[in-house]
């Protein structure tokens, strides 16, 4: 990231959607990079399926995420993604 782009992230909160089946190691590495390198004052890591269900106004639903390589089906119950 260039100097101008990097400076635009400093002191801004970050909302980062976590993809399905994102491991604890990846979450720890991502958090370390966001806190120490970008110096963000607040980081929210939220399950991608929960964000999709909230955007549709549903607390209980079945989210189907289809990508280039794989497709995931995740139930969301009371605003929490079940794995």
Residues 6-35 have pLDDT tens digits of 556 667 788 888 887 788 899 899 888 888
pLDDT at 62: 94
Give kind and range of the element (H or E) at residue 31.
helix 24-36
- To the question of pTM greater than 0.75 for the whole model, the response is no
Q: Helix (H, G, I), strand (E, B), or coil: what is residue 62?
A: strand
Strands 71-77 and 80-81: antiparallel
């Amino acid at each position: 990231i260039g100097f101008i782009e990097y400076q635009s992230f400093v002191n801004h909160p970050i909302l980062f959607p976590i993809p399905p089946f994102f491991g604890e190691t990846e979450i720890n590495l991502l958090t370390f990079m966001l806190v120490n390198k970008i110096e963000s004052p607040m980081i929210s890591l939220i399950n991608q399926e929960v964000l999709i269900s909230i955007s549709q106004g549903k607390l209980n639903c079945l989210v189907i995420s289809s990508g280039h390589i794989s497709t995931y089906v995740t139930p969301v119950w009371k605003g929490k993604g079940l794995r």
